[in-house]
Amino acid sequence: MGSHSRHGLAQIAADIRPEADKFTKNLFARLFAMDPSLRDLFPASMTAHRAVFHRVLDHVFTAIPRTEGHDELIEFLAQLGRDHRKYGLTEANYDTMTDALIAEVQAVYRPHGGLDPEDAEVLEQGVRLLTGVMRGGAHSDPTPARRTGRVVEVLRPHPGLAVVRLVTDEPLLFRPGQYVETQIPQVPRQWRPLSIAVPPNTQGQVEFHIRSVNGGYVSSTVFAETRIGDQWHFGQVHGLLRPDGDRPVTMIAGGTGLAPMKSILLAMGMNADNPDVHLLVGARSPGLLYDSDSLAPLAATNPWLKVTQVTDARRDPWWLKRPATAYRGLPLRHGSLVDAMADLDLAGRQVLIAGPKGLLRAARDAAIARGAAPEDVLHDPL
């Protein structure tokens, strides 16, 4: 880290990486000292936010010196700016972050003789590119930075799962299969991506399927505390999970990964002609197949749709009290979703995957092994 050696942005990123947590802690402490009002824009716990910030910074500093891929980098930063509109950032806030980030990087090198003037100039240009493109992206989006919706129904099909239905103040603009950044009133300033389980409609109706997970404070709070009348906030919409063209589609949905698939299927059901679709929907046991009552009639009235239910266990746990007929309107097989893919021929088919992270990786590998082209296997970012 000596001042007599050239660094460049890629080397700066590498130097910061081993102490990323300390760096981001000091950076945000510096930022909040420069403008205390900024603290109110962020969640109470900054751990996850700091980790995401470092990943973004590392990606940007590593990508800028490359001779290719700059269009993708610019779009990435512009999208980041559009996403950050939900925080209500001002021009002054962007200037403060620019100054804080430059100062904190320079502080890393000060005990080692500091950055030489040329590296200091490269650092300033890189940081100003980062914040400048984000600022431009925020200004370029004509849609509202936030929308709100009111909870009109909460269903709890079984312990740990909530189906929440809301009506938004104005219709959300999204494509079937996408997800939206969401904030609930019980956990202010904490945003979570939630997949929308219905297609766009003029009534502003949206539905979410949310499973309470260990360590998931927001998901647990949704299950335990969401009530009719609660007001939720929505930010940017994301997601590339959608069928393309007239080729047949295989959908792999684990647990609440059914939500984006249901949105896509309901939208397809409005069309006269559709390609062949095979949905494999998985759960740990039969009684946890929570949406069979809507999938069964959808499959029965649409000859292009085949639904196969897959459960790890043959019997439900003792604490699950559901009617034995709740899942019998559709074929049911036992094993894992990846096991159920073993006898499929996926050559020439599009494969859409949604569910837990482990499923995304395993099902992607299984789909390619079963003949799907890698570019035809789609899932949202891990």
Going by pLDDT thresholds of 50, 70 and 90, the confidence category of residue 68 is: confident
Looking at residue 4, what is its pLDDT? 41
Residue 123 has pLDDT above 70, yes or no: yes
- Calpha distance 114→133 (Å, rounded): 27
User: pLDDT digits over 129-177, tens only?
Assistant: 999 999 999 988 888 889 999 999 999 998 899 999 999 999 999 999 9
Looking at residue 324, what is its pLDDT? 54
Q: Are strands 179-183 and 231-238 parallel, antiparallel or unpaired?
A: antiparallel
Q: Name the 3-class secondary structure at 118.
A: helix
Question: What letter represents residue 202's amino acid?
Answer: T
For the chain, how big is the Rg over CA atoms in Å? 24
- Calpha distance 316→327 (Å, rounded): 12
List phi, psi (to 5°) of 164: -115, 125
pLDDT (average), residues 235-262: 94
For residue 151, give the nearest of 217, 207, 82, 219 by alpha carbon: 207
Asked if residues 35 and 41 have their Cβ atoms less than 8 Å apart, the reply is no
Residue 251 has pLDDT above 90, yes or no: yes
Looking at residue 323, what is its pLDDT? 59
Looking at residue 372, what is its pLDDT? 97
Question: What letter represents residue 33's amino acid?
Answer: A
DSSP letter, residue 159 = T
- Of all helices (H) and strands (E), which one includes residue 23? helix 20-34
User: pLDDT digits over 332-374, tens only?
Assistant: 999 999 999 999 999 999 999 999 999 999 999 999 999 999 9
User: pLDDT digits over 173-215, tens only?
Assistant: 999 999 999 999 999 888 999 999 999 999 999 999 999 987 7
Looking at residue 45, what is its pLDDT? 83
Please give the mean pLDDT across all residues of the chain.
91
Asked if residues 346 and 323 have their Cβ atoms less than 8 Å apart, the reply is no
Residue 44 has pLDDT above 90, yes or no: no
Neighbours of 50 (CB within 10 A): 18
DSSP letter, residue 336 = -
pLDDT (average), residues 49-55: 91
Contacts of 168 by beta carbon, 8 Å cutoff, 6+ apart: 147, 148, 149, 204, 205, 206, 234
206 Cα distance to chain centroid: 17
- In this predicted structure, which of 5-14, 43-52, 78-87 has the lowest mean pLDDT? 5-14
- Calpha distance 126→92 (Å, rounded): 19
Looking at residue 41, what is its pLDDT? 87
Asked if residues 69 and 40 have their Cβ atoms less than 8 Å apart, the reply is no
Token match 């984000």: residue?
134
pLDDT (average), residues 219-245: 94
Please tell me which residue, 329 or 115, carries the higher pLDDT value.
115
Specify the pTM. Answer: 0.84
C-alpha pair distances (Å), 106 with each of 27, 52, 97, 131: 11, 21, 14, 17
Neighbours of 1 (CB within 10 A): 15
For residue 258, give the nearest of 303, 298, 231 by alpha carbon: 298
Going by pLDDT thresholds of 50, 70 and 90, the confidence category of residue 3 is: very low
Asked if residues 170 and 203 have their Cβ atoms less than 8 Å apart, the reply is no
